[in-house]
Amino acid sequence: MQVPPGLKGVAVADTTIGAVRGAEGFYHYRQYNAANLARTHSVDDVVTLLIDGALPPEVEPINLGPYRSLPVEVANLVDVMSEFTADSLSVIRAALLAVADIEGHQPVLDIDEKQRREDAIRLMAVVPTIVARHYRRRNQLEPIDPNPELEHAADYLQMATGEVPDALNAKAVEKYLVATIDHGFNASTFTSRVVASTGASVASSIVAGLGALSGPLHGGAPGRALSMIEEIGSPDQARAWVEAKLDAGEKIMGFGHAVYRAEDPRGIVLREAAEDIGGDLAKAAVGIEQEILTKLAEWKPGQTIVTNVEYWAAVSLGIAGLPPELFTPSFAVSRVIGWSAHILEQAAEGKIIRPSANYTGVSPV
């Protein structure tokens, strides 16, 4: 069977977790509009939906709070790694494998559905604790222990900043985390499922997803979008700035998407979050976005170029108080939840993913 390069457009599995309809600017988690869930539900609610198949109160809610604390040995590992690496994704990978090893996590092939679920919840819950601890240690700040009484997003923001978060700031981070939990069979999700299909542990499957996310063609760089906005400064400077970049053959960060041909619904939610908080940055970002879109439409009149999630992720997370160096690891805080749901679904399938390749080398003799 011949397929397009990169498996573009090829359905390689069945899933009940969600899907993306790019032409419509729509995506969903199970039967629910994902953008609306980001507006109205907590991270824990959506975790419950993806892991147990329904929203509370239809099923008992999953509370990530009691799962967020790190074993002492893993906290020490994060501290040591913080001395020599700024790469949060590397630290998350090492720390998750350490948690799994210390707590005796087994390959999914060797454990039942209940234990797989427990392993997944435990590992997704500790990621914000790892990220925040690494950030604070890198910046010579004392780490903040997780507070199980706080919502997942609010606790992450508090552990990172050291301050009790304002309600609007916490809501902006919560909207971001919910909006980016899952997004079809992207590279990292597919990678996690491939590894899970071998019967490997939940931790190994998540770490594989993190490896895929670390690639610059996938994880993106919202921090660059924020730097762009700050460099442009005001909407009346945007057109000249964009023209200079396009003339130089450079990419405009935060614009264009491989799937969406209508406005990215995640960006709409995060624009709303930024505007709810308000301030000069949010106001400037709205005007700059419109000027850039107008210029891009003139540049390529036959194409639809939309604002992607990176642009408004950068603005909303920045306004909420997260520093740019935490933007990409915040994506991991969110996306590990989606990977976990896919890992559990793949483990239940019980079949290894084993595609073929076309040999194009020198003919054998």
pLDDT of residue 8: 77
Residue 329: asked if its preceding bond is cis (omega within 30°), the reply is no
Domain boundaries defined on the chain = 26-215+322-349, 222-319
DSSP 3-state of 32: strand
Burial profile 46-82: b = 16 or more Cβ within 10 angstroms, e = fewer: bbbbbbbeebeeeeebbebbebbebeeebbebbeebb
Quick check: 122 pLDDT over 90?
yes
Nearest to 182 by CA among 316, 321, 43, 74: 43
**Rounded distance, CA 185 to CA 204, Å?**
18
- Do residues 81 and 164 lie in contact, with contact meaning Cβ atoms separated by under 8 Å? no
Q: Domain 26-215+322-349 - what CATH class?
A: mainly alpha
SS3 state of residue 312: helix
> pLDDT tens digits, residue range 54-82?
999 999 999 999 999 999 999 999 999 99
CATH-assigned architecture of domain 222-319: Orthogonal Bundle (1.10)
The CA distance from 196 to 44, in Å, is: 23
* pLDDT for position 6: 79
Q: What percent of the chain has pLDDT over 90?
A: 81
Question: pLDDT tens, 232-286?
Answer: 999 999 999 999 999 998 888 888 877 777 788 999 999 999 999 999 999 999 9
pLDDT in tens, 1-23: 778 877 877 888 899 999 999 88
Which residues are tagged catalytic? 257, 310
For the cut 90, the answer to whether the pLDDT of residue 91 exceeds it is: yes
What's the token pair of residue 64? 């990530």
Pick from 176-185, 317-326, 351-360: least confident: 351-360
